[in-house]
């Protein structure tokens, strides 16, 4: 039985569940049936509610034959310590995701073992002082709700061990909107440390990862965080705690108990943090790779085109070189054939048959080379994973349509789409499932884009999980197309193994110009990207439109 304190859709919970299942699946000597419970205590509190949960679990698992209970965080441990005898008094338990201080403050009875956690922000603070010596002040951001208080130990320890030359400003008494407003106005001698925020000072509740995304989107200074699953949300990273590593260590400890190892030899073990950074955030704040600590992990690194497609580029270059050589040979052969034809007029009929046969073979070779050239040209325009047009073809065709728009005073629109939470999907199910998801999304978008707007419009994969459409249509037509695309993706029913992932959606940005407006294609794409960003910032799975007309620009 796996007991989580909060709801199922938290990235922390999803990553932990997947990591535990991975360890259990690898235990081929055991047949394990996993029951998972989500107490939702960050949204529903009270002794009565917790007692009702305990009564439900006692009734539900009375005859289920539960051999072990996995507890995540201090909240789950306290719930179990107070109600273990009522629910499953004889089942051993393994806890994890709990700092050593909270373990020492509790009386852990026999039969309960665990993995300790060490979230140490002071290590990241020492590094940032060496890397950015101009930093004078740290702005500390964390929540103040009941759920936040269960994770307050790392914050308290950070306050006690803060380097002496740094000033500390605690923003926990502010609402998230107030924090965002102040973060946007910070100067370069400050940095933000973000812990967790389930509930802000105004009582508004959040998923901690969503609160971080909102803050990172507006912050003028770098944001340090302490958990690896926050990488990719806008934080530069730091000395982070690995949810995946801690969950797997707890699952491994559980397997030892299930295999019958004597409980007295099972000790509380400590897990180690690592420096992990986000490449895009480092670039945004001008922090070079040379400033990172040794053996740091950098995620989301942008790989140069040559490195990413080296073998393909070499193959294309070799193909073109071969074509040039063959073409030169054919030109030389054609010249020789001209002379040969003049000489063949003087030859007898037998030599004429030979000449005809040679001409036929040369013609077949020429046709073969022309077909190969057409295939190479087609492949250079298509995306290798999804089969739709690639960004290179999109840029080329988009420039042609823009020139026609500028010359003929015609409307033109660009639609950008980004698959929501694709990284979480990729992390949860693996890159192969992620590729399959992109293929299904591309197929759904292509059927709508081509069927709705005609052959002159271009639909392409723009990069990663992003797709684009350039269409000869006005703002209203583009908005209608964007909505059709969004609905088509939302209707997808993607299967993964024995489960279904039904929450695939896209955020959409639309930018349009009418016949008389003077907006470049680059500006039009940038406006569509801004509109896409607003869709993501406003909750995702929605369409945001920007339109430019001859007299007034509208956003």
What is the mean predicted confidence (pLDDT) over 236-242? 87
The pLDDT value recorded for residue 234 is: 92
As a whole-number percent, the residues of the chain with pLDDT over 70 amount to 91
Report whether pLDDT(469) > 90: yes
Phi/psi of residue 98, nearest 5 degrees: -135, 130
Query: Residue 67 — very low, low, confident or very high, per pLDDT cuts 50/70/90?
Result: very high
203-228 pLDDT, tens digit each: 999 999 999 999 999 999 999 998 88
Q: Which residue in 228, 225, 224 sits closest to 132, CA to CA?
A: 224
Which residue is it, tokens 């008094």? Answer: 89
Lowest mean pLDDT among 29-33, 232-236, 514-518: 514-518
351-386 pLDDT, tens digit each: 777 767 777 777 777 677 777 667 766 668 899 899
Report whether pLDDT(478) > 50: yes
Comparing 518 with 198, which gets the higher pLDDT?
198
> Which one is catalytic: 37, 214, 453, 465?
465
Report whether pLDDT(265) > 60: no
The pLDDT value recorded for residue 551 is: 38
Phi/psi of residue 294, nearest 5 degrees: -60, 145
Residue 123 DSSP SS3 = helix
Comparing 61 with 151, which gets the higher pLDDT?
61
**Residue 111 in contact with residue 263, Cβ under 8 Å?**
yes
420-455 pLDDT, tens digit each: 999 988 888 888 989 999 999 989 888 888 754 455
Report whether pLDDT(290) > 90: no
Residue 224 DSSP SS3 = strand
Lowest mean pLDDT among 20-24, 235-239, 304-308, 393-397: 304-308
The pLDDT value recorded for residue 314 is: 85
Output the CA angle 142-144-148, nearest 5 degrees. 75
Query: Residue 94 — very low, low, confident or very high, per pLDDT cuts 50/70/90?
Result: very high
Mean pLDDT score across all residues of the chain: 86
Report whether pLDDT(499) > 80: no
Report whether pLDDT(303) > 70: no
Report whether pLDDT(498) > 70: no
Query: Residue 262 — very low, low, confident or very high, per pLDDT cuts 50/70/90?
Result: low
The pLDDT value recorded for residue 263 is: 57
**Residue 39 in contact with residue 79, Cβ under 8 Å?**
yes
**Residue 267 in contact with residue 112, Cβ under 8 Å?**
no
As a whole-number percent, the residues of the chain with pLDDT over 90 amount to 43
Report whether pLDDT(66) > 90: yes
Report whether pLDDT(278) > 70: yes
**Residue 517 in contact with residue 549, Cβ under 8 Å?**
yes
The pLDDT value recorded for residue 59 is: 93
145-181 pLDDT, tens digit each: 888 888 888 898 888 888 878 889 999 999 999 999 9
The pLDDT value recorded for residue 457 is: 83
Report whether pLDDT(532) > 90: yes
What are the b/e assignments for 279-312, b being 16+ CB within 10 Å? bebbeeeebeeeebeeeeeeeeeeeeeeeeeeee
The pLDDT value recorded for residue 229 is: 85
108-155 pLDDT, tens digit each: 888 888 888 778 888 888 888 888 888 899 999 999 988 888 888 889
The DSSP-derived string for 98-118 is: EEHHHHHTS---TTEEEEEE-
Report whether pLDDT(503) > 80: no
Tell me how many helices (H) and strands (E) the chain has.
19, 21
Report whether pLDDT(554) > 50: no
Distance of CA 126 to the CA centre of its chain: 29
Assess whether 466 carries a catalytic annotation: no
What is the mean predicted confidence (pLDDT) over 384-406? 89
What do you get for the CA distance between the two ends of the chain, in Å?
A: 51
Report whether pLDDT(552) > 50: no
The pLDDT value recorded for residue 308 is: 58
Written as six digits, the tokens of 153 are 């130990």
Comparing 453 with 345, which gets the higher pLDDT?
345
């Amino acid at each position: 039985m796996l007991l989580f304190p909060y709801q199922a859709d938290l990235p922390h919970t999803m990553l932990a569940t997947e990591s535990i299942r991975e360890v259990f699946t690898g235990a081929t000597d055991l047949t394990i049936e996993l029951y998972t419970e989500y107490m939702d205590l960050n949204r529903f509190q009270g002794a009565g509610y917790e007692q009702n949960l305990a009564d439900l679990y006692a009734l539900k698992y009375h005859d289920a034959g539960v051999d072990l209970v996995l507890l995540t965080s201090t909240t789950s441990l306290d719930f179990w310590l107070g109600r273990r005898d009522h629910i499953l008094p004889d089942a051993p338990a393994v806890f994890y995701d709990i700092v050593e201080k909270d373990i020492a403050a509790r009386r852990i009875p026999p039969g309960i073992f665990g993995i300790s956690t060490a979230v140490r922000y002071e290590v990241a603070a020492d590094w940032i002082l060496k890397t950015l010596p101009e930093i004078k002040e740290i702005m500390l951001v964390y929540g103040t709700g009941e759920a936040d208080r269960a994770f307050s130990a790392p914050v308290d320890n950070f306050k006690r061990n803060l380097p002496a030359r740094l000033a500390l400003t605690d923003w926990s008494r502010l609402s998230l909107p107030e924090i965002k407003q102040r973060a946007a106005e910070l100067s370069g001698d400050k940095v933000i440390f973000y812990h967790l925020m389930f509930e802000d000072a105004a009582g508004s509740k959040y998923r901690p990862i969503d609160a971080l995304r909102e803050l990172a989107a507006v912050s003028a200074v770098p944001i340090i965080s302490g958990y690896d699953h926050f990488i990719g949300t806008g934080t530069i990273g730091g000395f982070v705690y690995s949810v995946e590593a801690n969950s797997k260590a707890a699952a491994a400890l559980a397997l030892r108990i299930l295999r019958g190892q004597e409980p007295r030899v099972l000790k509380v073990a400590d897990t180690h943090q690592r420096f992990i950074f986000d490449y895009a955030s480092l670039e945004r704040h001008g922090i070079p790779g040379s400033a990172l600590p040794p053996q740091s992990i950098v995620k989301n690194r942008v790989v140069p085109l040559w490195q990413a497609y080296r073998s393909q580029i070499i193959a294309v270059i070799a193909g073109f070189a071969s074509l040039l050589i063959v073409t030169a040979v054919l030109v030389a052969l054609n010249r020789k054939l001209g002379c040969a034809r003049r000489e063949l007029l003087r030859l007898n009929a037998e030599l004429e048959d030979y000449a005809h046969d040679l001409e036929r073979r040369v013609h077949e070779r020429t046709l073969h080379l022309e077909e190969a050239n057409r295939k190479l040209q087609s492949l250079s325009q298509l995306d290798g994973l999804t089969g739709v047009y690639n960004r290179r073809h999109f840029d080329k065709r988009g420039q042609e349509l823009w020139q026609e728009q500028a010359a003929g005073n015609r409307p033109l629109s660009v639609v950008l789409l980004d698959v929501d939470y694709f990284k979480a999907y990729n992390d949860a199910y693996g890159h192969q499932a992620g590729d399959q998801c992109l293929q299904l999304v591309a197929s759904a978008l292509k059927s709508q884009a081509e069927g709705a707007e005609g052959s002159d419009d271009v639909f392409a994969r723009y990069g990663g999980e992003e797709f684009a459409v350039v269409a000869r249509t006005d703002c209203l037509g583009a908005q209608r197309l964007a909505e059709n695309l969004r609905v088509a993706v939302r209707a997808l029913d993607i299967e993964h193994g024995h489960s279904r992932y039904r929450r695939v959606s896209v955020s959409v940005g639309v930018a349009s110009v009418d016949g008389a407006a003077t907006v470049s294609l680059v500006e039009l794409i940038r406006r569509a990207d801004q509109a896409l960003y607003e869709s993501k910032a406003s909750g995702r799975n929605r369409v945001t439109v920007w339109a430019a007309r001859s007299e007034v620009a509208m956003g």
